[in-house]
Each structure stands twice: as C-alpha cells, then as structure tokens.
Amino acid sequence: MTERLQPGDTAPAFTLPDADGNEVSLADHKGRKVIVYFYPAALTPGCTKQACDFTDNLELLAGAGYDVIGISPDKPEKLAKFREKENLKVKLLADPDKQVLEAYGAYGEKKMYGKTVVGVIRSTVIVDEDGKVERALYNVKATGHVAKIITDLGISAGTRMR
C-alpha cells in the first residue's frame, strides 16, 4: 500500500501530459499554491460533478492564489473529450501508468460497495508555494468537496491575493 502524504512533506515532483498532450510539471507552478486532486475516471458522474465544481470555483480559487490540477489514469484523448463535453476549465493531466497517483498515496486498496478493491482513491493534496504539502485529504466525497476546501482554506468571495 502506498504511503499517504503528510503536511510538511515535499510534494512529489511530476511531469504529465495534459488533455492536449502538452507536458505539465508541478515545478511550472512554483511560487503559487496548487490544489492537486486525484479522481478515478473522466466522464463518470462523481468525477464530472467534482470537475464541474472546481471549474465553477476556479476564478475564486485563482483569486486566492491557488492553481487547480486534476489527475486521473485516463489517456489525454479521453481527458480532451471530458473537457469539451463538460466545458471544463480545470487543467486535467493523464497518469495512465499511475506513477504519480501512487507517489501521492492516491492509488491502492479501497472499499467499494463493501468489497476491497485496488484503484484510485479520490484525494486532494494542497501544495504550498515552496512545494511542500499543506494538506492531504484522502477518501474524499465528490459532492461538496470543493465547497469544503474553500471553507477550510478560509477563502471567501472577497478574498484576493495581496
């Protein structure tokens, strides 16, 4: 089982292709806070709800100094379809070999309908400007999760970067 990240840990570096096949690295976001969220599969109801919630709140999060990156084991082509179909503005990255998912503790055993299965553990890791883990949330719910993050981070409609 993969080790879960803890606050203060250095966030594992990554470079993955986005929905257009362009390489995106965590290092590209140095100096900004980054919300990295891991979800099981594009074009599924829960993952769609979560991606739409992040898209709907992207301006608010960006205004508070946060970039948002969604990572799943889907291939870039499927991510492009997902983005187009749902009009998503969140940066979606493909991790088909699951190396980044595993490095972040977002892949492993989980309970699903009472059975233990191996798969993507819906997770969110908030990385600070220096690349350190500020928060690591595992087994999160797709619905209401974005609102909870916004509340927990103390972001309000009036919050703006100084």
Beta-carbon contacts of residue 42 (< 8 Å; ≥ 6 apart): 51, 72, 74, 78, 79, 81, 82, 92
Count of CB atoms situated within 10 Å of the CB of 73: 20
Set 34, 47, 58, 142: catalytic member: 47
Active site residue 47: yes
E strand intervals along 31-146: 33-38, 66-72, 91-94, 107-112, 115-120, 123-127, 133-138
Place of tokens 């891991």: 38
Q: Using CA atoms, how far apart are residues 117 and 130, in angstroms rounded to an integer?
A: 35
Which residues belong to the active site? 47
